[in-house]
Structure 1
Amino acid sequence: MAELPSIQQLKNFITYGKYQNFTSAARAANITQSAFSFQMKRLEELVGIQLIERSNRGSHLTKDGEMFYERIAPLVSDLETCLCDMRALNGEMQTLAVGTMSSLGDVQMNRHLAYFQKNHRGAALRVYNKEARELLRWLSEDKLDVISLFDLPSLDISAYEKAFFCNENLVYYAPHIEDLQGPITADIAASNPLAQYSPQYVMHDYLDHYFSVYSSVRPMTQAWFSTPYAIMNYCQQNRMGSLLPKRFLQAMGVERGYYDVIPPITLPCYLLYKKTNPNYSAIRLFVSYIQETYHVYERQK
């Protein structure tokens, strides 16, 4: 019988398929680039086809590699889930402490967390909603295993592994301000009554900088809140506008009353964690699940 690839080779190939870059994939797999490259060459030998096209300009999956990735990724995920479930039957439960930004109001992420826990019985989750600086402090003190966070200029996330999972677009939400036609400029948003995040939050600093650069008008801020839920509700009750995540509004069932902004505000969202964390394997399973969930969501939009 022909020799089969190892699970680790397949997992690393899946990692490459997500990044399509040897340096990034090797870093995510926590091995040297040379060792990673050797594993991919050995995998190609065992499978009998070229999976990765290599050149001086970089690398990418071949058509056969893409087909292999699409077929093998769910199989490896099912195997990892099965192992977690079997360990759970023996009383081995890995508990992950997950932190999400309270100013993000990530309804979708909360739903994904619940679905992940339902379908991975070997992993229990403790979820904390905190502001960005506190999330980073808790992660540094090992009180959290993984956090979801905007990549904001004022935050230093260089000490952690980061896995991109989506882009967050902020829109101008003003359901009771009449005669608006999008897209909305920073001047228009600043000229109308504005609800903002509380001054102690990094999102307030980021949006304050946005207005200082792109608006010639000082923002007419009339209310400050700690969560997008409170901001949204206040705008629904008053003639007020605010900059809120589009994904949040859609998840809350809001279909109208918001507009794209000029210049656009697009914030990359990352999952941050430590490679040295003893729960690293469970973290990677969780990260892979979230990345694939958002990848599928984007394909369906």
Structure 2
Amino acid sequence: MSFPPTLKQLRYLVALHRTNHFGKAADASHVTQSTLSAGLQELESLLGTQLVERTKRSVMFTALGEEVVRRAQVILNDVDDLTDMASAAKDPLKGIVRLGIIPTIAPFLLPRIMPAIHERLPDLELHLREDKSAELCELVRSGELDLVLFALPYACGDVAEMPLFHDPFMVAYPHGQAPGERINTTDLDESRLMLLEEGHCLRDHALEACQLVGRGARREMAGTSLGTIIQMVAAGHGITLLPGMAVEAGLADKARVDIVSFKDMIPTRTIGLIWRKTNPRAATFETLGNVIKDVMHHHG
């Protein structure tokens, strides 16, 4: 090989793999489509092999193309980490942090932690993205996000995890139907239990937390958001498990539901941060995590 691939060519390839569309990949790379295509053709002739099959309607990567993308991603992450390392060394608590956060945490936790983060880390600029766990996991691994605020444990590959606090589950009953102010986990009527659709990790945590691993929970009633599910409970369609932080944030205040806590084993989900193990800004993320921890512990 006469000379190695350029980082630009690798970025084009990874962008194409992510968007699966030449036009979108070019937009994401801030170049014209012809520049992107030319860059990819140069890469293919450099490597002496075809990486992408181009048809009218779709973009298909060859087996080797997939492998090149995987390695290119590692190389690009390393290069980004190199530049991050230099800026982090200059001032670790300055700059942009791209934080992913899941929908069953974001609206309830952000109003509580953002003021403290602004006050204690004034030079840190948080860019937030809300999405489901699987998407955020992919984005942190591909280097598009720095870290994710998650319910742990979540299998996201080789990442660093920082548990922050526990969030206890509570049960919502239609108004007037609660069996008491506090119940045992064994009192839960699984046939009436409605949980979020698959893909919202709250569902997995709730099932695991109450040791109901899919035994009786009703799938056909799966709502798309906690707000929707509470309305369904209020209308008498069943019962649901709510994260304590959602109850504290007033999610159920206006609905005709009764909130009951557990008295035996209190099921919880652990809220924590994850980031790529190789990310040189780990110390920054830990500082951010400690601010969140402080707010929640003093609050709790």
Q: Same fold (TM over 0.5)?
A: yes
* Secondary structure, counterpart of 1:273 in structure 2: strand
Cα pair 1:186 1:214 within 8 Å, conserved: no
Q: For residue 190 of structure 1, what is the aligned residue in structure 2?
A: 190
Q: For residue 246 of structure 1, what is the aligned residue in structure 2?
A: 244
* Secondary structure, counterpart of 2:175 in structure 1: coil
Q: TM-score, normalised by structure 2?
A: 0.57
The alignment status of 1:162 with 2:161, answered yes or no, reads yes
121-130 vs 107-116, which deviates more?
Answer: 107-116
Counterpart mapping for 1:1-301 below 5 A? 94-105=95-106, 107-117=108-118, 119-152=120-153, 155-157=154-156, 159-176=158-175, 178-181=177-180, 182-186=182-186, 188-192=188-192, 194-208=193-207, 213=212, 218-252=216-250, 254=252, 257-261=258-262, 263-298=265-300
Equivalents in 2 of 1:130, 1:249: separation in Å? 21
* Secondary structure, counterpart of 2:195 in structure 1: strand
Q: Do the aligned partners of residues 105 and 230 (structure 1) sit closer, same or farther apart at CA in structure 2, a change above 3 Å counting?
A: farther
Would you say how many aligned residue pairs link Structure 1 and Structure 2? 207
Cα pair 2:152 2:163 within 8 Å, conserved: no
Residue 210 of structure 1, CA deviation: 6.2
Equivalents in 1 of 2:120, 2:211: separation in Å? 46
Cα pair 1:103 1:131 within 8 Å, conserved: no
Q: What letter matches 1:289 in structure 2? A: V
* Secondary structure, counterpart of 2:100 in structure 1: strand
Cα pair 2:150 2:274 within 8 Å, conserved: yes
Deviation track 1:95-143 (CA, whole Å, cap 9, x = no partner) reads 1111112134551244313441355331111111111222211111111
Residue 218 of structure 1, CA deviation: 2.8
141-150 vs 102-111, which deviates more?
Answer: 102-111
Equivalents in 2 of 1:220, 1:258: separation in Å? 20
Higher-Rg structure is: 2
Q: What letter matches 1:249 in structure 2? A: V
Deviation track 1:237-290 (CA, whole Å, cap 9, x = no partner) reads 444310110121111264671122465312222111235324444323312211
**Unaligned stretches of 5+ in structure 1?**
1-83
Q: TM-score, normalised by structure 1?
A: 0.57
**Unaligned stretches of 5+ in structure 2?**
1-87
Cα pair 2:226 2:242 within 8 Å, conserved: yes
Q: What letter matches 1:225 in structure 2? A: G
RMSD: 3.4
Cα pair 2:149 2:271 within 8 Å, conserved: yes
Cα pair 1:98 1:128 within 8 Å, conserved: yes
Residue 198 of structure 1, CA deviation: 0.7
Identity %: 13
Cα pair 1:149 1:271 within 8 Å, conserved: yes
Cα pair 2:132 2:199 within 8 Å, conserved: no
Equivalents in 1 of 2:279, 2:259: separation in Å? 41
Cα pair 2:133 2:199 within 8 Å, conserved: no
